[in-house]
Structure 1
Amino acid sequence: MAALSFLSLLLILLLLPLCLLLLLSLIVRPRPVKIPLKNRHVFITGGSSGIGLALAHRAAAEGARVSILARSPDKLEEAKRAIRLATGIDVATFSADVRDFDALRRAAEEAGPVDLLLVNQGVVVAEELAKQGLDEVRFVIDVNLIGGFNMIKAFLPAMKARTDRRPASIALVSSQAGQVGIYGYTAYSASKFGLRGLAEALQQEVIADDIHVSLVFPPDTDTPGLAEENKRRPLLTSVIAGSSGAMKVDEVAEKALNGIKSGSFIVPCNFEGYLLAIVTAGLSPQRSYVMAFVEVVSASILRLTALFFQWNWYSSIEKWHAQSKQQL
């Protein structure tokens, strides 16, 4: 009798995960999709350097027709030469500020229909809000968040009216600081958190047009922008943000483009990013029922892990302030 009860319990334990997987396979939305790149038009903002340039290299190497947009004509020409030298392919360049909607609308008209719009521009001005001027706060939000709205608003009409009816994509490059608030990143985190709300609502609005939204969450990445940021980044910001480590720009570009091509809504770039994606999943779309299973099963333990991270961060902050008071 005891053996029978044990077998029954074992059978139930085995069936529960299978039943959950079956349920998730029926309810996850949107459905899985693949975004082809070859012979399609990829338009990348912030494409003259850093992650944007690496994405342009990779997309061109995969046979896409690539356009890049940035503010500096000189940097755009330099990027164009570098991509031609590496891939033998010419890219189109557009000089515009993402804060200028009229300039973006003209660029959209000149570029023609886009199959993958990669909204990658971003600026970081790391400083405690008490010390930071509101002009800098507005600058960060205008470039990172309002610039995203401007780009999508300018390019979306032609994307919706495209004659190539294969699946298309709008990808937004956020940051791990867009998944969790970090000391010294009040303006930056706010701008990058905002992209998530934009992406989640936008996906519902464009799914009927077979347009699929991706949200990329890179950690610190070895780019000229990071080097510039580090010149004034508060020490506590480095202590907290540094726990995830920095990635090479080509690694981030590879992870990002692979996630976009698979239609993933959340695209993490490293192990910590995967953990953050799971613990912050909330009501975000999920195409993979396997990943949905991982999210459901691991939610409690990862929440506990997140609380340990918060404990560590706040302990670092308390220690820092205690040492500062002793030095006074």
Structure 2
Amino acid sequence: MSSALSHWLSFSSWWLLLPFVMLLVVAAFIVAFVLLLYMISPLISPKPLKLNGAHVVVSSSKLTRNECYKVHKLVQAKKEVEKCAINDKQVVLCISVDVSKDYNQVESVIKQAQEKLGPVDMLVNCAGTSISGKFEEVEVDRFKKLMEVNYLGSVYPTRAVVTTMKERRMGRIMFVSSQAGQIGLFGYTAYSPSKFALRGLAEALQMEMKPYNIYVTVAYPPDTDTPGFAEESKTKPLETKLISETSGVCQPEQVAKIVVKDAVQGNFTSSFGPDGYMLSALTCGMSPVTSITEGLQQIVTMGLFRTIALFYLGSFDSIVRRCMIQREQSKAADKRE
């Protein structure tokens, strides 16, 4: 009887341990699967573009006779780029063209640059401008202006280089959007749509270009300490300032390094910091991925990031309500006086 009891106890112990054994097996399988993904991911990801020793073309908007400041900044930019040259054969060429107005002119200028320096390996579309304000207070023509500069200012140069890139079956195209191109914020009813448009363009273009070994990158930088940002801050509504402060301000050099690195590697999305990574994962939707691990990370983190995002949105709504109440109280106090 004692033998039978002992056998029954050992049998029962086995069944009690079975869930833990199964859990260990599943955990081991997941770990092995993740390791396998990390191992094969580089085989699927695009090969980094080699740009060491490449020529550089720096462009600026069309200059008028009285715009000495722009001339100075263009020359200054040229000198800064020349400091990074690794040999004496590298050329830094400055051109002046308004990339948002006349496509034929943009195409002509880029063609001339390619005749001098050779075909374009990587195009960086960073023309942009910004204005913030309440929807009903923004002048109607400003909506058109922002779409011309922020969207068409990227469409035209890209259109001018893709044919050559497809013939060579290589290239990189970068669009500099904004975190305001991932989430619509108070005060950016004119700015955000022009940056959201770049995402749609990039996704469609990537599907067309990928068979030709051409990869598209969309960068979503946060507020960056540039002259344009300083000018924009002068007219920002209080709500916009308070919301923007939650993500801080980045330095241009820091942003440039990350953007170029992601574009060279062929990453579709280029984000900055924890907030940027979370936003990119949350808004990935049907956007392309350039590695299996990237897709896996998005799948795993989506639920958690959505939960965090709800708290952010609640905080933003609270800021808007507080500002509205303060404004109404201020108006009421003025009337009593």
Distance in 2 between the 1:272 and 1:23 partners?
A: 25
1:36 aligns with 49
Structure 1 outlier segments of 4+, above 6 Å? 23-26
- Asked if 1:92 is matched to 2:106, the reply is no
Distance in 1 between the 2:30 and 2:254 partners?
A: 37
Distance in 2 between the 1:149 and 1:224 partners?
A: 24
1:326 aligns with 329
Which of 52, 69, 88 aligns to 2:59? It is: 69
2:184 aligns with 181
The one-letter code sitting in structure 2 at the alignment partner of 1:36 is: L
- Asked if 1:147 is matched to 2:165, the reply is no
- Asked if 1:251 is matched to 2:251, the reply is no
Report SS of the residue matched to 1:64: coil
Q: Which has the higher contact order (CA 8 A, sep 6+)?
A: 1
Alpha-carbon contact 2:238-2:323 (below 8 Å) kept = no
Matched-pair identity in %: 34
Give the 5 Å matches for 1:31-180. 31-38=44-51, 62-71=52-61, 72=63, 74=71, 75-85=73-83, 87=85, 90-99=91-100, 100-112=102-114, 113-162=119-168, 165=169, 167-180=170-183
Unpaired runs of 5+ in structure 1? 39-61
1:57 aligns with none
Which of 21, 24, 39 aligns to 1:10? It is: 24
Distance in 2 between the 1:307 and 1:214 partners?
A: 27
Distance in 1 between the 2:80 and 2:33 partners?
A: 52
Unpaired runs of 5+ in structure 2? 1-13, 64-69, 332-337
The one-letter code sitting in structure 2 at the alignment partner of 1:102 is: N
1:54 aligns with none
Alpha-carbon contact 1:126-1:229 (below 8 Å) kept = yes
Distance in 2 between the 1:311 and 1:66 partners?
A: 45
| Pairwise CA distance, 1:158 | 1.9
Distance in 1 between the 2:182 and 2:43 partners?
A: 21
- Asked if 1:238 is matched to 2:241, the reply is yes
Q: Which has the greater radius of gyration? A: 2
Shift of the 312–92 alpha-carbon distance from structure 1 to 2, 3 Å rule, reads: same
Alpha-carbon contact 1:66-1:91 (below 8 Å) kept = yes
| Pairwise CA distance, 1:327 | 1.0
| Pairwise CA distance, 1:149 | 1.2
TM-score (norm 2): 0.83
The one-letter code sitting in structure 2 at the alignment partner of 1:96 is: V
